[in-house]
Amino acid sequence: MLTKPFTLLLLALGAHAAAADTDRHFINGERTAAQTPPPISDGVLVGNTLYISGHLSVDPKTGQVPVDPQAEAKLVMDRVKRTVESAGLTMDDVVSIQVFCTDLALFDTFNSVYRSYFPHGFPARAFLGAGALLRGAHFEVLGVAVRRPSKP
Amino acid sequence: MLTKPFTLLLLALGAHAAAADTDRHFINGERTAAQTPPPISDGVLVGNTLYISGHLSVDPKTGQVPVDPQAEAKLVMDRVKRTVESAGLTMDDVVSIQVFCTDLALFDTFNSVYRSYFPHGFPARAFLGAGALLRGAHFEVLGVAVRRPSKP
Amino acid sequence: MLTKPFTLLLLALGAHAAAADTDRHFINGERTAAQTPPPISDGVLVGNTLYISGHLSVDPKTGQVPVDPQAEAKLVMDRVKRTVESAGLTMDDVVSIQVFCTDLALFDTFNSVYRSYFPHGFPARAFLGAGALLRGAHFEVLGVAVRRPSKP
């Protein structure tokens, strides 16, 4: 039915769509030479979707957790932001977040910091009490971001 | 190689696909005027994919957790359902669920309620013991839904 | 503006894209006749994306948790792998993993096993302390995989 040029176009579009949707890039920004790297990527970008690893509220250079919970919340959100931006996306692209927290009394403190990272609308989010987190952190934050269409 | 109409078609299809895949809508149904809104959306719809926030088994009007765990399970699943339907999807579109629960002895009770929300096939699911949940809830439920192609 | 063949092509492409992106398949491999099946699928494949249920480090035939934590880690990762492969994907397609663990002291043990499942790059991952897991398991593992474009 279709003429040859139509068929070629169809094939070209199909191949392009498959590549754009499922090609992946591993995002790894923060490792230091001193660390034995754990078996994770900071994020994986597949097509337009970025899967963001659980980031701990631990300073990647010192391995320390800040004493002040507000500073701790800022530290973990800055780490998430760096991963998002390393993948070429922005925090406006984040659509879903999970916060794991070892002390639910820190809910308001966390929110006061978190709010400023999303001036244009809040992602879907769950705030969950964790039994424990690695390295004594109070917070671990993971999520999903989807790149928006570029403005013409 | 391609004639001008072909090229225009290619551009049109590309632009359409990008918009459909990555445009987003914030879903916010349940807030009452009395609440200080927390920095979350109930859900975010991006293209065909809806990211559903963690919903607590707490009555959004009273802030209370039902005494009966079966009523509590129904309450949280009804909240999830309202968010899904506010986004224009149905529970049949749900593909993945995470249940966080502070008392694993409630597993069978939760399942007996949960089952009825998915008569046509069960989403992928994890049922996880949480250290604690906000406001004394026994359940927090989050997930992902993907809109199915409309019937012709 | 568009000639009839162009319009037909446009419709064909649109229908094809919608079907490919949102059609779903329920993956259910491991149930035995003896079990009352819980209301879950092992995974749900929608378009190219596989949502992988939380798999427990429990032998599906015996209901037992291995005594050795290293064997337990291998058991749960093998279960995940079977679900991924039942859906027609491979572990190389996995883009995101969540590990829930009742004893964070098992972090290194888990990693030593986990590492071998991903020789070509590590998924995004969160490693989270769970309050408790069903059936006394130390590990529950869930995730997302995205089928890569087939090689030409």
Amino acid type, B141: V
CA distance C72 to C66: 5
CB distance A132–C95 less than 8 Å?
Answer: no
User: Strand runs (DSSP E) across chain C, as ranges?
Assistant: 24-27, 43-46, 49-56, 94-101, 124-129, 139-146
β-bridge pairing A43-46 and A24-27 = antiparallel
Q: Which of B99, B118, B148 to mutate to test the interface with C (most CBs of C within 10 A)?
A: B148
Asked if B39 contacts C39 with a C-beta cutoff of 8 angstroms, the reply is: no
- What length is written for chain C? 152
CA-based nearest distance C32→chain A, Å: 32
CB-nearest to A18 from C102, C144, C149 is: C149
**pLDDT grade for B37, boundaries at 50, 70 and 90:** confident
Question: Cβ contacts (< 8 Å) between B22 and chain A: which residues?
Answer: 48, 146-149
Q: What is the pLDDT of residue A33?
A: 47
C-beta of residue C134 within 8 angstroms of C-beta of residue C90 = no
Residue C7 pLDDT: 41
CA distances (Å), origin C121, targets A99, B150, C28, C95: 25, 37, 27, 9
User: pLDDT tens digits, residue range B92-132?
Assistant: 999 999 999 999 999 999 999 999 999 999 999 999 999 89
Distance from CA of C1 to the nearest CA of A (A): 17
Q: Which residue in A7, A96, A150, A151 has the most chain B C-beta atoms within 10 A of its own C-beta, making it the best mutation to test that interface?
A: A96
Chains that touch A (3 or more CB pairs under 8 A): B, C
CB within 8 Å: C54 and B127: yes
Q: What's the one-letter identity of residue A39?
A: P
DSSP label at residue B102: S
Distance CA(B30)–CA(B41), nearest Å, equals: 10
- For residue A94, what are its two tokens? 């984040």
Mutate to test the interface with A, among C6, C114, C120, C125 (most CBs of A within 10 A): C125
pLDDT of A2 over the 70 cut: no
| Domains in chain A: ranges and CATH | 24-146 (3.30.1330.40)
Query: How many inter-chain contacts (A to C, CB under 8 Å) are there?
Result: 100
pLDDT in tens, B82-103: 999 999 999 999 999 999 999 9
* C98: chain A residues, CB-CB within 8 Å: 54, 142
Residues in chain A within 8 Å Cβ distance of B101: none
Distance from CA of B71 to the nearest CA of C (A): 18
Q: Considering only alpha carbons, which residue of chain C is nearest residue B115?
A: C39
Q: Which residues contact B65 (CB under 8 A, 6 or more apart)?
A: B57, B58, B59, B72, B135, B136, B137, B138
Give the pLDDT score at C11.
39
**Cβ contacts of B64 within 8 Å, gap of 6 or more:** B58
How would you write A49-98 as a 3-class SS string? EEEEEEEECCCCCCCCCCCCHHHHHHHHHHHHHHHHHHCCCCHHHEEEEE
pLDDT over 90, % of chain B:
70
Does pLDDT of C66 surpass 60?
yes
Question: What secondary structure does DSSP assign to C3-15, as a single string?
Answer: -HHHHHHHHHHHH
Mean pLDDT of A1-25: 50
Distances (CA, A) of C144 to B85, C49, C97, C147: 24, 7, 7, 10
Indicate the pLDDT class of residue B61, thresholds 50, 70 and 90: confident
pLDDT digits (tens, 9 = 90+) for A78-132: 999 999 999 999 999 999 999 999 999 999 999 999 999 999 999 999 999 998 9
Q: Which residues of B touch C (CB under 8 A)?
A: 5, 9, 13, 17, 48, 95-96, 98, 102, 104, 107, 111, 114-115, 118, 121-132, 144, 146-150
Pair C21, C32: CB distance under 8 Å: no
Q: Which residues of C lie inside 8 Å of A (Cβ-Cβ)?
A: 5, 9, 12-13, 17, 48, 95-96, 98, 102, 104, 107, 111, 114-115, 118, 121-132, 144, 146-150, 152
CB distance A149–B46 less than 8 Å? no
Average pLDDT over residues B53-76: 95
Residue of C nearest to B127 (CA): C54
pLDDT band at B23 (very low <50, low <70, confident <90, very high): confident
* pTM, full prediction: 0.86
